[in-house]
């Protein structure tokens, strides 16, 4: 690697960094890990999965970009129109990553970007692929174009293990072919390749990380582990697709964010890194949740399988371990116990997410697979 390939990222070195999707699950946890050492601009359009309460202990203001309506939920924060970007430790801007004019204003201020903004739920992509293509692919394209016109701003793109597709045996390495099988994974795979294309075609300084399934605090209740926890709390069945034998690789969000930070701060231009976790079947995860909560595993109910349900995701993270010395710290059993405790202690956080819109989504999606109707709490 030549010296030109290494772009040092200096904490608190004048300019802030931009984190797109910073009010989401991984984004808000990443901000917590970085906030003591970096000034941060968080850009989030606050779709249903972006939650101001994820950041309400770190800032008390949401800056509303021109042309955007106030958020449905404000997390108890004040709302101010965005005129000039302030020099605060954390600046929370409500706006979209596909807003070129807004990006132009923000990019003048920043020294680096961690790009997390995306629609991420496979089930919703099977109901309506459009938002995933607009956010995950088109949004990434517009961000890349804004960077290209603004100058050499390092971009770390957060992708997903789902772009590799299912793997019955072995583990996927960074140079393996991509084989996405659902609209979400296709949009992410296209964005992943587009980022690398802008590096090769236009010389943009980029890196790509491909994490396995994350879990932990602040994850939206539509996702597998928090949905199981909340369903158990509410006395609902714990629904599993098919026979529950599908395998996922799980990493606690704290470990994933440590890996992202390590990669960001040890920049290697054009490189790709997998971030792997512990492999476990969906059925075993549900059984562990029942055991930790002390409830009867007979609460688990098997329903129809999801279309294009990949059997197994598995990543080879040898490159990350060898290049940067990264190792996970949180075992899945310990992290799951901590996560369950967090959701039990933050009922008010997830209760407001279980609204009529969310209930309608649950009824439509799970109804297609033979589940019983959901009741509002």
Q: Which residues are catalytic?
A: 161-162, 184
CB 176 within 8 A of CB 184: no
Distance, CA of 354 to CA of 48 (rounded, Å): 11
CB 289 within 8 A of CB 145: no
Tokens representing 376 are 């509002």
CB 132 within 8 A of CB 120: no
Count CB atoms within 10 A of the CB of residue 186.
20
- Of 237, 252, 351, give the one whose Cα is nearest residue 302: 237
Count CB atoms within 10 A of the CB of residue 345.
10
Please report the DSSP string for 51-114 in residue order. Answer: -GGGTTTT-SEEEE-TT-PPPS--TT-EEEE-SS----SEEEEE--TT-HHHHHHHHTT-SEEE
Count CB atoms within 10 A of the CB of residue 13.
12
145: enclosing H helix or E strand: helix 139-150
- E-strand stretches of the chain: 17-20, 40-44, 61-64, 78-81, 90-94, 112-115, 155-158, 206-211, 213-215, 238-241, 247-252, 272-275, 278-281, 300-303
Instruction: Return the half-sphere exposure (C-beta side, CA atoms, 13 A cut-off) of residue 89.
Output: 12
- In Å, how far are 203, 268, 319, 367 from 4, measured between CA atoms? 11, 10, 21, 54
Distance, CA of 21 to CA of 26 (rounded, Å): 8
Tokens representing 307 are 């279309």
* Nearest-5° Cα angle at 186, 185 to 189: 85
């Amino acid at each position: 690697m030549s010296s030109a390939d290494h772009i040092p990222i200096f904490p608190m070195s004048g300019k802030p960094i931009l984190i797109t999707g910073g009010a989401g699950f991984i984004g808000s946890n990443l901000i917590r890990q970085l906030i003591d050492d970096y000034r941060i601009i968080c850009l989030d359009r606050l779709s249903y999965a972006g939650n101001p309460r994820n950041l309400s202990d770190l800032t008390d203001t949401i800056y509303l970009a021109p042309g955007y309506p106030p958020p449905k939920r404000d997390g108890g924060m004040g709302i101010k129109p965005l005129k000039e970007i302030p020099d605060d430790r954390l600046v929370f801007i409500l706006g979209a990553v596909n807003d070129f004019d807004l990006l132009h204003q923000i990019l003048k201020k920043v020294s680096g970007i961690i790009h997390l903004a995306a629609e991420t739920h496979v089930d919703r992509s099977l109901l309506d692929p459009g938002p995933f293509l607009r956010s995950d692919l088109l949004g990434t394209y517009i961000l890349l174009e804004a960077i290209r016109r603004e100058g050499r701003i390092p971009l770390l793109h957060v992708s997903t293990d789902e772009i590799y597709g299912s793997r019955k045996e072995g583990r996927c390495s960074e140079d393996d072919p991509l084989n996405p099988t659902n609209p979400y994974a296709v949009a992410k795979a296209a964005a992943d390749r587009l980022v690398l294309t802008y590096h090769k075609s236009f010389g943009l300084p980029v890196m790509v990380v491909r994490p396995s399934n994350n879990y932990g605090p602040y994850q939206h209740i539509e996702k597998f582990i928090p949905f199981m926890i909340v369903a158990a709390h509410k006395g609902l069945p714990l629904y599993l697709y098919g026979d529950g034998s599908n395998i996922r690789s799980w990493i606690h969000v704290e470990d994933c964010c440590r890996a992202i930070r390590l990669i960001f701060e040890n920049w290697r231009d054009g490189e790709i890194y997998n971030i792997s976790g512990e492999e476990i079947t969906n059925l075993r995860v549900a059984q562990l949740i029942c055991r930790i909560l002390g409830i009867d595993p007979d609460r688990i109910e098997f329903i129809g399988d999801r279309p294009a349900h990949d059997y197994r995701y598995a990543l080879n993270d040898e490159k990350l371990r060898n290049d940067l010395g990264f190792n996970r710290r949180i075992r899945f059993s310990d992290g799951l116990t901590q996560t369950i405790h967090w959701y039990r202690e933050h009922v008010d956080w997830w209760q407001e997410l279980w609204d009529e819109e969310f209930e309608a989504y649950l009824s439509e999606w799970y109804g297609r697979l033979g589940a019983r109707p959901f009741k509002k709490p």
